[in-house]
């Protein structure tokens, strides 16, 4: 089970973060284990069960295969796009290990229990305890300190030692031949195979890797071309889109805003922009390493962190809202990409928007960002927002695809570009113009306002899909895209 936790993180750059990714690992793991157990029972009936030494040798050999095959160069990784060939290759790499485990486990239990149900129960109890402690060890001991590939190798080493211990009665020539084969696989995994972290460290300037129990965070690039990767999946870049996430609702807010909540920290750009309005700003981020990377992307990060009006909380955004009694003038939500990511429906669902609405002050505005992509998915998100709030407006970004949604319990004022610019304090003006192609603030606002999306007309013309907790439309897309649903 510890290895399964690490497989999930190590394979993410190829399998991505969709529900089908983890389901595929579990399916292959259980399927291979089943066939291994079937293989053992067949051999047992025929009186030809393999010796423990042979089985452990195969297990030691198979344990290093995932670390060998998780090679960036072999898998032809295309960031943020599913690679079916690479995915099949990685999933196949865990089959031998799981199958041999499926053969070994019932064999060990049969040998220990000797037909006694009580003893068999004890053996299974020990196995269950291992299944609980293994993931905890992997998540809180190994992964915060070493890479996923290194963690796989560390967990595989005991099998090599177990083989050398069991093979003592075996003729020396056979024993050391088997040991050399396993060691050769180990050397390949350590020295030849190159995971995506090593690839980025070698090819990208100033690459920094931060590890914790939640994820491995990678920062790299220079100037405006800096990037944030979490478990090998690109999260965001330095873009004015993330500035407008804060400036749009703060500028449209009726009266001077006093407080803002940012859910999902990213590079910290939105948090930084909210602070430029001199409002009490709270940011909530799930991954500690993402917060620690703030200084890599913004030279004034330390100043922002020292700002008494700012606060960063490491927590799940939805859980934070459930626990707090605070209310805010503005709530900004920037769910992690892609919109199909497993668990992301918790920040897109109608129930979440209802929860967020309870934490808005009078005249409060919620801003949520919907990336571009599948039309029905975008409109499902828009519908979930518009059914939760009586007043919703949408604006296209200044660059790229996607949509800024503004939602409120009260009408959102129909302000023009000049009025929005006039509402901004001086620090906020400088912040918004930092990456602007024009020094004319009103003209910059005009670009966004000119891209307003007619919400009602858009929703009236499509199938009435929405995202709810019980129906995470964005996460389960396979049958829909295959035209089977």
Average pLDDT estimate for 84-96: 88
Under a CB-based contact definition with an 8 Å cutoff, are residues 20 and 11 in contact? no
Q: Which domain holds residue 48?
A: 2-194
pLDDT of residue 484: 63
Instruction: Let me know whether 187 and 214 are in one domain.
Output: no
Instruction: Let me know whether 434 and 297 are in one domain.
Output: yes
The H or E element spanning position 409 is none
Instruction: Let me know whether 209 and 321 are in one domain.
Output: no
pLDDT of residue 184: 87
Instruction: Let me know whether 355 and 266 are in one domain.
Output: yes
What is the CATH classification number for the domain harbouring 329?
Answer: 3.40.50.150
Average pLDDT estimate for 293-318: 94
Instruction: Let me know whether 380 and 401 are in one domain.
Output: yes
Weakest-pLDDT range from 237-251, 290-304, 370-384? 370-384
Instruction: Let me know whether 53 and 166 are in one domain.
Output: yes
Instruction: Let me know whether 314 and 257 are in one domain.
Output: yes
**DSSP-assigned letters across all residues of 184-245:** HHHHIIIII---HHHHHHHHSTT-EEEE-SS-EEEEEEETTEEEEEETTEEEEES-HHHHHH
Weakest-pLDDT range from 71-80, 98-107, 242-251, 303-312? 71-80
Under a CB-based contact definition with an 8 Å cutoff, are residues 354 and 317 in contact? no
| Res 340 pLDDT > 80 | yes
| Res 79 pLDDT > 70 | no
Instruction: Let me know whether 268 and 401 are in one domain.
Output: yes
Pairing of strands 391-395, 403-408: antiparallel
What distance in Å separates the CA atoms of residue 476 and residue 209, rounded to the nearest whole number?
Answer: 31
Instruction: Let me know whether 227 and 244 are in one domain.
Output: no
| Res 23 pLDDT > 80 | yes
pLDDT of residue 463: 67
pLDDT of residue 461: 64
- Dihedral Cα 166, 171, 172, 176, nearest 10 deg: -60
Query: pTM higher than 0.85, yes or no?
Result: yes
Express as a percent the part of the chain with pLDDT over 90: 52
| Res 174 pLDDT > 80 | no
Average pLDDT estimate for 230-249: 92
Instruction: Let me know whether 184 and 311 are in one domain.
Output: no
Pairing of strands 391-395, 360-370: unpaired
Q: How many domains does the chain have?
A: 3
pLDDT digits (tens, 9 = 90+) for 449-481: 999 988 887 777 666 788 999 999 888 888 877
């Amino acid at each position: 089970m510890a290895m399964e936790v690490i497989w999930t993180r190590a394979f993410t750059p190829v399998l991505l973060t969709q529900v089908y990714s983890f389901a595929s690992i579990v399916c292959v793991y259980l399927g291979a284990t089943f066939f291994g157990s079937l293989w053992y029972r067949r051999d047992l009936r025929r009186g030809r069960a393999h010796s423990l030494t042979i089985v452990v040798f195969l297990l030691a050999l198979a344990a290093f295969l995932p670390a060998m095959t998780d090679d960036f160069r072999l898998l032809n990784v295309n960031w943020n796009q599913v690679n079916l060939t690479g995915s099949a290759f990685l999933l196949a790499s865990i089959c031998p290990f799981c199958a041999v485990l499926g053969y070994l486990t019932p064999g060990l239990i049969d040998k220990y229990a000797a037909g006694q149900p009580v003893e068999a129960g004890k053996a299974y109890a020990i196995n269950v305890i291992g299944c609980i402690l293994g993931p905890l060890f992997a998540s809180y001991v190994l992964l915060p300190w070493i890479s996923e590939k290194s963690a796989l190798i560390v967990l595989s080493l005991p099998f090599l030692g177990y083989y050398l211990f069991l093979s003592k009665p075996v003729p020396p020539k056979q024993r050391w031949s088997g040991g050399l084969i396993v060691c050769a696989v180990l050397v390949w995994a350590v020295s030849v195979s190159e995971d995506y972290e090593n690839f980025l460290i070698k090819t990208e300037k100033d690459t920094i890797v931060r590890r914790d129990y939640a994820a491995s965070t990678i920062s790299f690039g220079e100037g405006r071309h800096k990037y944030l990767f979490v478990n090998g999946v690109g999260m965001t870049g330095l873009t004015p889109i993330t500035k407008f996430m804060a400036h749009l609702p703060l500028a449209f807010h009726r009266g001077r805003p006093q407080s803002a909540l940012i859910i999902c920290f990213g590079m910290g750009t939105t948090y930084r922009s909210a602070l430029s309005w001199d409002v009490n700003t709270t940011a909530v981020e799930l991954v500690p390493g993402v917060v620690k990377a703030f200084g890599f992307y913004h030279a004034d990060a330390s100043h922002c962190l020292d700002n008494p009006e700012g606060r960063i909380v490491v927590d799940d955004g939805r859980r934070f809202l459930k626990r707090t009694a605070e209310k805010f003038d503005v709530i900004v939500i920037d769910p992690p990409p892609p919109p199909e990511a497993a668990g992301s429906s918790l920040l897109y669902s109608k129930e979440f928007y209802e929860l967020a609405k309870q934490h808005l002050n009078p005249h409060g505005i919620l801003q949520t960002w919907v990336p571009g992509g599948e039309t029905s998915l975008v409109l499902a998100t828009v519908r979930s927002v518009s059914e939760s709030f009586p007043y919703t407006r949408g604006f296209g970004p200044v660059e790229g695809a996607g949509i800024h949604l503004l939602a409120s319990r009260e009408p959102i004022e129909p302000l023009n570009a000049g009025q929005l610019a006039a509402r901004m304090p001086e620090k906020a003006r400088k912040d918004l113009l930092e990456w602007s192609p024009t020094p004319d603030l009103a003209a910059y606002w005009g670009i966004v306002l000119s891209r307003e999306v007619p919400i009602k007309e858009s929703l009236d013309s499509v199938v009435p899909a929405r995202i709810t907790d019980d129906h995470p439309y964005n996460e389960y897309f396979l049958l829909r895209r295959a035209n089977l649903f």
